[in-house]
Amino acid sequence: MLNLKNYIFIPIVIFSIFACDQEVEEPKDSSEAMNSGQWSLVWSDEFDSDVIDLQKWNKLLWRPGWVNNESQAYTARDTNLFVRNGKLVIRGLIEPGYAGTDYTGTDYNTDFTSGRVNTSGKANWTYGRFDIRAKLPKGNGSWPAIWMLGENISSVGWPHCGEIDIMEHVGFDDGNIHGSIHTTDYNHMLNTQKSGHISVPTATDSFHLYSLEWDSTYIRYLIDSEPFFFIYNDGGGDENKWPFNKSHYIILNLAIGGDWGGIQGIDPNAFPMEMEVDYVRVFKKSESLKNVNVTFQVDMKHQSTSGTGIWLSGGNISSGQPGGLQMESVEDTTIWEITLNLPPNSNYTYKYRNGYYPSSWSGGWESVPDNCGADQHNNRSISVGEADMILPAICFSRCSVCE
């Protein structure tokens, strides 16, 4: 599913700047990240006061149609943005003929209003774990999102600044949660965005924990602390592919309608729509949590190697894209290898692919035998522990080394 966000940079009034690398007091309701001892809390909002903390959040004032042909106006009113029972509530309303003024001073009329907040200019981060516990709205036309944008958007624009979508959901596809990145080379305008999704049937009925682990070499998406999507940094220093080495800020919003959310219309009986956020917590990795170097090897002894080389692809290790991760030939052998820097105690599925096919799921795949296939697609599998690993040079399309 495409993540349709053709963003235009909007200047934000900056009220104050906060340092983001100092540990803060842990809330009483500790999450798994805190309990593990592998992450330390550096910023949070538990929404335990009566009002939204404007030292932490900006409220956006946008007219309808500003991005993605969305139908709502974003207002700062306490009917659209407020705290209730220790939770941030972003409420979408149907208000025929509502008249307002956006941040530029432009007057507008709309039939729908909602809310959008961000931390731009107040708090931003490069790497870490981001935990957001939320319950999503029901109803066709709803399009809630928890996401991040590069703080340098004002100077480089979108998508070169980078976008990380931690969670997106559209009401007509109830319970299907999406995670994505968008960059200059990987974005929906080119149909090259890197996206994953998972079914969470109770997403609109109960609270779930939407998490992102972001490191210099990977981005990992989790729901209720269970990983569901993984993106490895294949940029090689090219910011057109991987601009995620600079600071990003958090955005929470509930859009109504638009290019994606409105595909099946807006249900007028679904209002008011509410996204509730229990907390937002940001962590930094502890010194004891070390990534693991894993070397993958495949022997092409019995194969005619494609001129575009051998690729580690398929499964969940190569971000759901058909291209995969490029391997290197080992001199004076028929072996190809790649070393990845991966999070410890993590699991992956994958295949080797003879040739580069960036826009197709056909061609080049090895046929892994049943006795070493791990799932319905007969992908190979690996469990990463806490020590570096060098895998044996398995024969292409076989379970053992080449004879």
Catalytic residues: 163, 168
What are the tokens at 111?
């039939």
Across 196-227, b (16+ Cβ under 10 Å) vs e yields bbbebeebbeebbbbbbbbbeebbbbbbeeeb
Q: Output DSSP code: residue 271.
A: P
Q: 94-118 b/e with 16+ CB inside 10 Å = b?
A: bbeebebebbeeeeeebbbbbbbbb
- Spatial contact of 81 and 117, defined as CB atoms under 8 Å apart: yes
CA–CA separation, 206 and 384 (whole Å)? 32
The gap between the terminal CA atoms of the chain, to the nearest Å, is 43
What Cα–Cα distance (Å) separates residue 169 from each residue in 162, 188, 288?
20, 16, 35
- Tokens 């809330």 locate to 27
Q: State the Cα–Cα distance between residues 348 and 366, nearest whole angstrom.
A: 17
Q: What is the largest CA-CA distance in the chain?
A: 76
Sequence letter at residue 15? F
Assess contact for 119 and 148: CB atoms under 8 A. no
Structure-block tokens of residue 124: 């931003």
Cα distance between residue 31 and residue 191, in whole Å: 36
Smallest CA-to-CA distance from 44 within 214, 279, 250, 224 is with 279
Query: How many Å apart are CA 95 and CA 117, to the nearest integer?
Result: 21
* Count of alpha carbons within 13 angstroms of residue 253, beta-carbon side: 29
